[in-house]
Amino acid sequence: MSTILLVGGAGYVGSVLTEELLARGYAVRILDRLYYGENGLQKVRDRVDLIKGDMRTAGIEVLDGVDAVVNVGGLSNDPTAEYNPQANHEMNTVATRKLAQLCKQAGVRRYVFASTCSIYDRGVGTDHKDVLQDEAADVNPRAAYSSSKRQAELHLLSMADENFCPVILRKGTIFGFSPRMRYDLVVNTFVKTAMSGGALSLHYGGEMWRPLVDVRDAARAYIACIDADEDLVRGEIFNVCFQNLRISELALRVQAALRPLGINVQIRPDYGYKGVRSYRVSAKKIERALGVHPVVTIEESVAEMVRKIKAYGYTDFDNPRYYNIQWMRLLEEAHEVIRVTGSVFEAQEAAAPVLV
């Protein structure tokens, strides 16, 4: 039985990937800071080896007995990266490189890294650049998040040799249900908004493009990169995408998928907001090389989301836990309070009053 170290295994993608790995007979060791708790692992907690730790300070001992590493950890979207650029760089770039160095020292050959298709962002209003981009396209990301991922890519590619096999997956915008649910991803946001009685708002009229992939298809792509012969994946970058859609078309598809479920929602375009990303990608390379072809449609994923959101009771849609940037801000605020008060309920020894 092969053992996989899954960095960030309690997160949105990680908790789904954990289930998929276990279903295929892998042993799973998870390294996670547990910013969002263990909810994502509630059904598999007794079947995984969970190490609560920071990817930035992990030692070589986390690799004992490990056959491959999948790194889906770190900060995972633009708002959180912009909120703390230093932590974003430390987690997404520096820790990625350090873990790869530890792998080489420990003799762990396979390292699969979660990158992002937002590296290809061309922005809106640049129609002459609106092309389908593959892994050979020139990229020059400007945002903190995509820049940190690109820097990590370059480090890993430079380390590839006959004893070390890094593989990079640039994933499109992910959607779908996860035990560690997020409502700050566009399809999931649309479903949450509809279920809570709101209207789907389309920034910039929804004219921007997104490559999209369901979270379970993304998980299966990671597993394909673990299973593949080294010669097929060593030092390779693969885009992972089911299809490219304009956000306006995506909203119409979500609206149509919800209607048979008894959920009717209006769509309202908003042309006043222009700070948007737009990019389209080709995923032919991973299909040709590894036979990976995502299959979960928007409509299928929306129906499953509605069913599981109800089943898991994730209908407290305003809970900040479902929104990465809101949760990070709340944790920061709580940390500042606890620095002053100490533990919330434990009694403290009497001391002289302190001015704060």
* CATH code: domain of residue 48: 3.40.50.720
| Residue 22, in any domain of the structure | yes
Q: Is residue 206 part of a domain?
A: no
pLDDT at position 272, please?
76
Q: What pLDDT, on a 0 to 100 scale, did the predictor assign at position 34?
A: 95
The boundaries of the domain holding residue 176 are 3-181+211-242+278-295
CA distance linking residue 62 with residue 68, whole number of Å = 12
In a domain, 334, yes or no: no
Q: Residue 251 in 3-state DSSP? A: helix
In-domain check, residue 196: no
> Is the C-alpha dihedral spanning 216, 222, 225, 227 positive or negative?
negative
- Are the C-beta atoms of residues 234 and 167 closer than 8 Å to each other? yes
C-alpha distances (whole Å) from 304 to each of 9, 26, 308 are 22, 26, 6
Domain membership of residue 233 (yes or no) is yes
Structure tokens at 105: 């020292």
Does residue 328 belong to any structural domain of this protein? no
124 found inside a domain: yes
pLDDT score of 75: 84
| E strand map for 74-145 | 110-116, 132-133
Q: Which two tokens stand for residue 258?
A: 């919800």
**Residue 18 is encoded by which pair of tokens?**
């954990």
Express each pLDDT in 62-108 by its tens digit: 999 999 999 999 987 778 878 888 988 999 999 999 999 999 999 99
**pLDDT value for 129:** 61
- Where the chain has pLDDT below 70, the residues are 124-130, 273-275, 348, 350-356
Q: What is the pLDDT of residue 245?
A: 97
User: Are the C-beta atoms of 99 and 114 separated by less than 8 Å?
Assistant: no
pLDDT for position 20 = 98
For the record, the structure tokens of 104 come out as 């080489």
Quote the pLDDT of residue 131: 84
Helix/strand/coil percentages in the chain, nearest 5? 45, 20, 35
Asked, for residue 282, whether it belongs to a domain, the answer is yes
Q: What is the pLDDT of residues 316-339, one digit of tens each?
A: 999 999 999 998 999 999 988 888
- Count up the domains in the chain and report the number: 1
Tokens found for residue 118: 């937002």
Nearest by Cα to 119 from 99, 93, 137, 131: 137
What contacts 183, CB < 8 A, 6 or more positions away? 189, 192, 317, 322, 323
* Mean per-residue pLDDT over the chain, rounded: 93
